[in-house]
A and B are shown apart, each in its own frame.
Chain A
């Protein structure tokens, strides 16, 4: 990786952190999983700077959180968040960025950038994050499979809106700069 890649990684880690300032949404139906904009930062990183760099940006962000900087949505930080009920979602961040990036790269050849970004962000930001995050949470907080499925269903509207948001942002950026393989 060259220095330019490192600059991109650091700035996108900062963007993921910046999105933590958007207040998280709590809803009783979601079993304590906050709806945050941070997942959007992860999918954006995967698309805008590429799958590998996006994943590294997510890791750098998590390391900064682990050092105790309150960068997670709602001002959380420190090592405690990696043992809490939503730890699975955090550990899934790098994989989500990676899969979003890979999907966007392969899909954007076949369809428009907007649709590709929407699908990639939905799979990475909703499917991957919840596929890892919800089982971990269900295991840590003794929830049944049924409850886990209900939580996943409850998060679906937010997931769709966030994927749409990512697609719109990618569309906006793509009009000004080449997107993806930077």
Chain B
């Protein structure tokens, strides 16, 4: 029950809940993953980061709502797969770890240079855009919150105000991207 409560808090954007879970399992995970996969301590930390990223996204986008097992079992389960993936893709190769994205981003990998360029421009633009716009876009496109939910969460008067606000945010982002591309 407490674990379910924690998931709710993470879903609602409470960072301290994520931090609690992150620290709670960290040392046990690092020891376990080292024994399980033979990874060194640096790579074990990397795998823990990837595991917690995947866990976070699963909670935020609603893939994980109810726990069918203990939270620890769930997290370690992700870790097991991440360690296998990590070893397959990166061990012994001097590659940028930034490229090792979480599950569904990896599915979208492409060699299309234009697309990659656009994504880089958008990422840069999003940093300049700042909050609340960035959080609003994350809530809509990543967490798949409805406009009704967004209006409540961001204190807008109605869903239609939230919708207009989202439109304005995208327009602002466009201007930033355009400015940066010149």
Do A and B interact? no
Residues of A within 8 A of B (CB): none
Residues of B within 8 A of A (CB): none
